[in-house]
Chains A and B, each alone.
Chain A
């Protein structure tokens, strides 16, 4: 009986899927080994995670090596499950939870014998995730109508530049508006190249990135440099605490005492999820992305839908780019987006082209990104260069582990030619 059931399961699963599950199983086994070797055997003291805003308010103290042993056991168990039967559609979710667990064990090891502000880490994570999440949402917006947007990086960078430039001349709100508009203009450029001229969408996106990098660098040296006070000192938008909600322990300071960009992120994610899956516009967009010919036959204007969504996607990315200057650093630097747009693309894939998934994935990447900020304080002995690599390494691992399974919109990347 059990044999037949196992056989049926074997028949149903595709070879590629079986291989993937085995690879993931092996990866878990590898991680379990790392956790035991480095974290469990490499720490002896207690780690203290501070979850309150003041020292001693809410403290979580536990044995770092105990935490590592528990993590290793769970990983070994997951490895077994993957090697024997796989986890099916839960794979990604479990993977995300397991990565968080790994990160926790890692932090416990790094904070061994010391006290560490987990609250600060979580706040940094949300901040670092914000531009990545805006990039990912921009990607979802474009790819749901089957236009691949590699130009997110350039849109973020242009948004950051315009926010600093216009934000200094007028005020930060005008800066945000200018950033949004400039992102939309680049979105329109991508749309015209991809939809009207059928230019390879990946090339069009790469062109936008090179163009944005060149133009912002050119304008920085020509205009901003030397006129710092007049053109490049917009300042940073302060955090706004939402009454009552921000008083919730732990969650309050992390989620509800942030700047306007973070709130806009929650809002855009929610409205995009509702819009894509509950409104006429969303149904039409998805139809255009899955099967443009069928959509066209039913009277949906494929071109207009694509133009509108890609421009909106550009606006989202431009708005998100303003975070770099107005939400974080307070001044524009050349190439300051540092690949966040591409990480956003990976977040979009990891999040399976769904706004909420994209946001969740962006938080994972944001966590990796915030490691270098926080761990440099702990002085864990890891060279800073390797900490700086973390978000990029995580991106590669995630894209390699997930992309084979995630299914993009069916017509993704293909121009629609009428007739």
Chain B
């Protein structure tokens, strides 16, 4: 044993300040306190919108605030077209949010949803244009599965690195995001994938039999809502079942809460870590497939457009519970859909939405801030969810 390792033992054993208790208890207390489930998220959204308004005042003047926020609201909720757009935007967000949430439940911080989306969306498209004369009942599941597998591989790598070498998943998943962007840029240039007659990086179109079919086109062909939204809801249910009703999910949560105890109980921490990250990656891949097989029908450079990063905020807002993720996904979908309308109808750009989302997480993670601003009682904050470099 070298000198440094000698030092490590007693100090690590002495770290009594670390908050204890199961991880999910710390994220979402089981005595479902209405304050932390309903009140804090609501006030967080209000506070974030207020700060956003202040930003608009600073850059565009007071008069622009009502114009921008009215457009935001109308673009999100008013009329069936807006609601359809909100649901369309919510579908990949829910799937990517589930990816991050699953990681949180197992004590892993998956910041790589963006890269997993990029890879999964691309593999789904490749499966979507490669087979051309299959019936939809076979072709669509194959394309979706390809998206899942692509994302699962991309998520499994950091899981494996974490389990075998201890490399922190926060760094490896972010690096894999950048690598995924470059890799897809490269793939898109290959004649096998590049659309005929094009030189800018854009893929061939997916065969109609692998497209997620529209579900509201009988009302108005312009409504873009597709089966992907139903898929997102089904996957949310599946993740809930996996986490809270299956043995594997119990192991995930146990390893997340206390890896030492889980190992002592005979669970494989290594296997669990790899599996969690692979499934989380697969969910990210599904989010990508949802985009590429849904509204896009192809992939191009940067098609994931930051959805994977929004997913982090979303998972925290939804308290890493599948039901919470669905609700938070609807809210963020509304912000995205409304943000586009806001960008068109007012002087305010859609990047304001990112600022609002970041502020929402600040208030969610630190309810004491909400308490200080609104003078109401709030529940406990998120506490320590993640492990440090060496754990």
- Contact present for A200 and B389 (CB under 8 Å): no
Chain A residues whose CB sits within 8 angstroms of the CB of B2 once the complex forms:
17, 88-89
Contact A408 to B390, CB < 8 A, known contacts A88-B2, A417-B17: yes
- Contact present for A203 and B17 (CB under 8 Å): no
Interface residues of A in 381-419 (CB under 8 A from B): 383, 385-386, 388-389, 392-393, 395-396, 399-401, 403-404, 406-408, 410-417
What is the bound-complex CA distance between A150 and B389, given in angstroms? 11
Contact A200 to B386, CB < 8 A, known contacts A207-B361, A403-B165, A407-B4: yes
- Contact present for B368 and A197 (CB under 8 Å): yes
Chain B residues whose CB sits within 8 angstroms of the CB of A400 once the complex forms:
161, 164-165, 167, 172
What is the bound-complex CA distance between A89 and B2, given in angstroms? 8
- Residue of B with least CB distance to A208: B358
Task: Kindly state whether residue B18 has any CB partner on chain A within 8 Å.
Answer: yes
Q: Interface code B360-391, partner A: CB below 8 Å = 1, 0 otherwise?
A: 01100110110000000000011111111110
* Neighbour of B174 across the interface among A23, A197, A339, CB < 8 A: A339
- Contact present for A203 and B186 (CB under 8 Å): no
Q: How far is the CB of A34 from chain B (nearest CB, A)?
A: 19
Q: How far is the CB of B302 from chain A (nearest CB, A)?
A: 11
- Contact present for B14 and A342 (CB under 8 Å): no
- Contact present for B167 and A411 (CB under 8 Å): no
Chain B residues whose CB sits within 8 angstroms of the CB of A297 once the complex forms:
none
Contact A202 to B386, CB < 8 A, known contacts A339-B175, A385-B182: yes
* Neighbour of A222 across the interface among B59, B316, B354, CB < 8 A: B59
Interface residues of B in 141-178 (CB under 8 A from A): 161, 164-168, 170-172, 174-178
* Neighbour of B359 across the interface among A211, A396, A415, A416, CB < 8 A: A211
What is the bound-complex CA distance between A393 and B382, given in angstroms? 32
Specify which of B5, B167, B177, B384 lies most central, judged by the most chain A CB atoms within 10 Å of its CB. Answer: B167
Task: Kindly state whether residue A215 has any CB partner on chain B within 8 Å.
Answer: yes
Task: Kindly state whether residue B55 has any CB partner on chain A within 8 Å.
Answer: yes
Binds B, one of A121-129, A270-278, A286-294: A286-294
Q: How far is the CB of B116 from chain A (nearest CB, A)?
A: 15
- Contact present for B358 and A222 (CB under 8 Å): no
Task: Kindly state whether residue B42 has any CB partner on chain A within 8 Å.
Answer: no
Q: Interface code B108-150, partner A: CB below 8 Å = 1, 0 otherwise?
A: 0101000000000000000000000000000000000000000
Binds A, one of B80-88, B249-257, B289-297, B344-352: B344-352
- Residue of A with least CB distance to B384: A200
Chain B residues whose CB sits within 8 angstroms of the CB of A214 once the complex forms:
351-355, 357-358
Chain A residues whose CB sits within 8 angstroms of the CB of B177 once the complex forms:
339
What is the bound-complex CA distance between A338 and B361, given in angstroms? 23
- Count the A residues whose beta carbon is within 8 Å of the partner chain — how many? 70
- Contact present for A346 and B166 (CB under 8 Å): no
Q: How far is the CB of A314 from chain B (nearest CB, A)?
A: 16
- Contact present for A203 and B161 (CB under 8 Å): no
Task: Kindly state whether residue B196 has any CB partner on chain A within 8 Å.
Answer: no
Task: Kindly state whether residue A349 has any CB partner on chain B within 8 Å.
Answer: yes
Task: Kindly state whether residue B11 has any CB partner on chain A within 8 Å.
Answer: yes
Task: Kindly state whether residue B183 has any CB partner on chain A within 8 Å.
Answer: yes
- Residue of A with least CB distance to B348: A222
Chain B residues whose CB sits within 8 angstroms of the CB of A148 once the complex forms:
388-389
- Contact present for A342 and B171 (CB under 8 Å): yes
Task: Kindly state whether residue A36 has any CB partner on chain B within 8 Å.
Answer: no
Task: Kindly state whether residue A4 has any CB partner on chain B within 8 Å.
Answer: no
Contact A385 to B183, CB < 8 A, known contacts A193-B365, A404-B165: yes
* Neighbour of B170 across the interface among A89, A150, A220, A383, CB < 8 A: A150
Task: Kindly state whether residue B71 has any CB partner on chain A within 8 Å.
Answer: no
What is the bound-complex CA distance between A34 and B168, given in angstroms? 27
Q: How far is the CB of A182 from chain B (nearest CB, A)?
A: 15
Chain B residues whose CB sits within 8 angstroms of the CB of A407 once the complex forms:
4-5, 7-8, 390
* Neighbour of A396 across the interface among B5, B176, B186, B189, CB < 8 A: B176
Q: How far is the CB of A55 from chain B (nearest CB, A)?
A: 33
- Contact present for B182 and A389 (CB under 8 Å): yes
Contact A202 to B109, CB < 8 A, known contacts A395-B175, A396-B175: yes
Task: Kindly state whether residue B15 has any CB partner on chain A within 8 Å.
Answer: yes
Task: Kindly state whether residue B33 has any CB partner on chain A within 8 Å.
Answer: no
Interface residues of A in 181-202 (CB under 8 A from B): 193, 196-202
Q: How far is the CB of A257 from chain B (nearest CB, A)?
A: 31
What is the bound-complex CA distance between A223 and B352, given in angstroms? 13
Task: Kindly state whether residue B214 has any CB partner on chain A within 8 Å.
Answer: no
Q: How far is the CB of A209 from chain B (nearest CB, A)?
A: 8
Task: Kindly state whether residue B217 has any CB partner on chain A within 8 Å.
Answer: no
* Neighbour of A203 across the interface among B165, B355, B361, B390, CB < 8 A: B361
- Residue of A with least CB distance to B187: A385
Contact A386 to B59, CB < 8 A, known contacts A200-B365, A203-B361, A217-B351: no
* Neighbour of A386 across the interface among B165, B182, B352, B353, CB < 8 A: B182
- Contact present for B354 and A210 (CB under 8 Å): yes
- Contact present for A385 and B186 (CB under 8 Å): yes
- Contact present for B171 and A345 (CB under 8 Å): yes
Chain B residues whose CB sits within 8 angstroms of the CB of A20 once the complex forms:
165
Task: Kindly state whether residue A179 has any CB partner on chain B within 8 Å.
Answer: no
Task: Kindly state whether residue B32 has any CB partner on chain A within 8 Å.
Answer: no
Task: Kindly state whether residue A204 has any CB partner on chain B within 8 Å.
Answer: yes
Chain A residues whose CB sits within 8 angstroms of the CB of B171 once the complex forms:
342, 345-346, 395-396, 399
What is the bound-complex CA distance between A211 and B356, given in angstroms? 8
Interface residues of A in 341-376 (CB under 8 A from B): 342-343, 345-346, 349
Chain A residues whose CB sits within 8 angstroms of the CB of B168 once the complex forms:
399, 403
- Residue of B with least CB distance to A345: B171
What is the bound-complex CA distance between A293 and B357, given in angstroms? 36
Chain A residues whose CB sits within 8 angstroms of the CB of B167 once the complex forms:
396, 399-400, 403
Chain A residues whose CB sits within 8 angstroms of the CB of B348 once the complex forms:
222
Task: Kindly state whether residue A206 has any CB partner on chain B within 8 Å.
Answer: yes
What is the bound-complex CA distance between A383 and B313, given in angstroms? 35
* Neighbour of A202 across the interface among B165, B170, B178, CB < 8 A: B170
Q: How far is the CB of A194 from chain B (nearest CB, A)?
A: 10
Chain B residues whose CB sits within 8 angstroms of the CB of A58 once the complex forms:
none
List 11 additional A-B contacts (Cβ < 8 Å) besides A17-B2, A88-B2, A206-B109: A14-B1, A148-B389, A150-B170, A198-B381, A202-B109, A211-B359, A214-B354, A219-B59, A222-B348, A291-B14, A414-B388
On A, residues with C-beta under 8 Å from B are 12-14, 17, 20, 23, 88-89, 148, 150, 193, 196-204, 206-207, 210-211, 213-215, 217-223, 290-293, 338-339, 342-343, 345-346, 349, 383, 385-386, 388-389, 392-393, 395-396, 399-401, 403-404, 406-408, 410-417
9 CB < 8 A contacts A-B: A12-B1, A200-B382, A201-B384, A214-B354, A221-B349, A291-B11, A386-B182, A414-B17, A415-B384
CB-CB nearest 10 A-B residue pairs: A214-B354, A413-B388, A211-B358, A385-B186, A218-B351, A197-B366, A214-B355, A221-B349, A400-B167, A217-B351
